[in-house]
A = this chain, B = another copy of it.
Amino acid sequence: MDLTKEEILPYGHHVAKLDYRKILDRCADRPDGKYIDVTAITPTPLGEGKSTSVMGLVQGLGKRDKSVVGAIRQPSGGPTMNIKGSAAGGGRSQCIPLNEFSLGLTGDINSIMNAHNLGMVALTARMQHEANYTDAQLAQRNLKRLDIHPKKIQFSWIIDFCAQALRNITIGIGGKMDGPTIQSSFAIAVSSELMAILAIANDLADMRARIAKVVVAYDKQDRPITTADLEVDGAMTAWMVQAINPNLMQTLEGQPVLVHAGPFANIAIGQSSVIADRVGLKIAGYNVTESGFGADIGFEKFWNLKCRFSGNKPNCAVIVATIRALKCHGGAPIPVPGKPMPEEYAKENVGWVEEGCKNLLHHINTVKKAGINPVVCINAFYTDRPNEIKAVKRICEHAGARVAVSTHWEHGGDGALEFADAVIDACEEKNDFKFLYELDTPLEKRIELIAKEVYGADGVSYTPEARTKLTQLAKDPEMAELGTCMVKTHLSLSHDPKLKGVPKGWTLPIRDILTYKGAGFVVPVAGAISLMPGTGSDPAYRRVDVDLQTGRVKGVF
Contacts and interface: CB of A to CB of B under 8 A. Distances in A.
Contact of A237 (B77, B174, B545): B545
A168 interface: yes
B107 A21 contact: no
Contacts of A205: 548
A553 B141 contact: no
A81 to B, nearest CB: 6
A121 interface: yes
B546 A238 contact: yes
Contacts of A173: 168-170
Interface string A6-27: 1001111100010001000000
Contact of A541 (B113, B235, B535): B235
Nearest to A182: B165
A133 interface: yes
Give the dominant DSSP class at A's interface.
mixed
A125 B170 contact: no
A235 B78 CA distance: 12
Contact of A238 (B142, B172, B556): B556
A12 B19 CA distance: 10
A167 B184 CA distance: 13
A227 to B, nearest CB: 10
Given A12-B10, A77-B114, A178 B168 contact: yes
A164 interface: yes
Residue of A21, A118, A170, A555 contacting most chain B CB atoms (<10 Å): A118
Given A10-B12, A141-B537, A545 B164 contact: no
Interface of A: 6, 9-13, 17, 21, 77, 81, 103-104, 106-107, 110-111, 113-114, 117-118, 120-122, 124-125, 127-129, 133, 138, 141-143, 157, 159-174, 177-179, 182, 184, 204-205, 208, 231-232, 234-235, 237-239, 241-242, 244, 534-539, 541-542, 544-546, 548, 551, 553, 555-556
26 contacts: A10-B12, A11-B12, A77-B114, A103-B238, A104-B114, A110-B110, A120-B165, A122-B541, A125-B164, A125-B535, A128-B165, A141-B537, A143-B537, A164-B178, A165-B178, A165-B179, A165-B184, A166-B171, A167-B174, A167-B178, A234-B544, A235-B542, A238-B544, A238-B553, A238-B555, A241-B551
